[in-house]
Amino acid sequence: MKRRNFLKIGMQVLVSAWAYNLEDVLLAAGKGSWQVDVQPGQLETGTLGLVKVHPPQSVERIKAHFGGKNIPVFPNYSTEKWPFGCFVPIPLTMKPGRKIITFRASANGETLLYSHPIKIKKKEYPKEFLKVKKKYAEFPPPILKRIRSDQAAVGRACRKITPEIYWQGPFVRPVPGRITSPFGLRRYFNGQPRSPHSGVDFAAPVGTPVKASNRGVVAMARDCYLSGKTLIIDHGYGLFTIYCHLSNFKADLGDMVSKKAVVALSGKSGRITGPHLHWGVSLLGKRLDPQSLLNISSHFA
């Protein structure tokens, strides 16, 4: 490395303890080198990724920073090769390009700082035009008040960060039906633009058993105006799965549910054009494509 590069690194260490602008460089004293594995190798907007970490020395915990936010890192992640891991959210609004995730740890009185690049690709999502009853497209003040209350309740539930791993192994689909509407569609209700589709829709006749995608704690069970009967499961470390348009709940608030346990029955409650299950994923308060969670499940061990 040329002298000017050493000087540049030194200045960056002084300017930022988190060293946002460095790539694959161990910034502080420490033996060996960091090992980082990002899955998938290139992330797309609207998805989540899994980052596995092995620091150069034995440490009790690691802190991470990405996209302007602190990212919770879970310890004792899987094997000795990857003792730490974290999920990173890539929301629909994130600009594509090269981003940096920065790790910080302490060992024997030394501070270890390291940054690693993550490539973000913009994903294009198609449009979808839906026809619904007028009451589900135009909201008078009392209904709008209820909708905002529902949204606030969902937000409170999904912003919690439980420092415990509840999930066990790969995540699974909650129902076997085909996907009728994917994540990210730019939706128009009765010709009016609305927020992009925040999950995936599965074909599911009324009364179909809905299974928990993984082990977790029921964080919310509420009858919402738009999403109908809605159940949210906390899987730990800011990761949640969301089940909407249900007909009945089979689990209560605070219940610990096992993976594949029946937690509800599908239905047609809320704003809906026909019976189906809407399945969503929230990571650190960001709605992301559930399919991306399934895709990285093979890397959980």
Measured CA angle at 293 (ends 232, 18), to 5 deg: 100
Number of domains the chain contains? 2
Closest CA to 85 of 97, 93, 77: 77
- What is the span of the domain harbouring residue 78? 3-121
Residue 254 has pLDDT above 70, yes or no: yes
Assign residue 215 the CATH number of its domain: 2.70.70.10
Residues 160, 91 within the same domain: no
Residue 185: band (very low, low, confident or very high) from pLDDT cuts 50, 70, 90: confident
Report d(CA 241, CA 233) in Å as an integer.
5
d(CA 293, CA 49): 8
Taking residues 144-161, report their average pLDDT.
96
CA angle centred on 149, ends 284 and 238, rounded to 5°: 15
Question: Residue 270 and residue 174: Cα distance in Å, rounded?
Answer: 19
Overall pTM surpassing 0.75 (yes/no): yes
User: What is the predicted pLDDT for the residue at 2?
Assistant: 41
Average pLDDT of span 12-34:
44
191 or 157: which leads in pLDDT = 157
The domain boundary residue, chosen from 121, 136, 158: 121
Q: If you average pLDDT over residues 188-194, what whole number do you get? A: 78
Q: What is the pLDDT of residue 301?
A: 58
Q: What percent of the chain has pLDDT over 70?
A: 87
Instruction: State the CATH number of the domain containing residue 36.
Output: 2.60.40.10
Q: Which range among 11-15, 144-148, 205-209, 265-269 shows the weakest confidence by mean pLDDT?
A: 11-15
Q: Which residue has the higher pLDDT, 99 or 82?
A: 99
Burial 204-213 (b: 16+ CB within 10 A, else e): bebebbbbbb
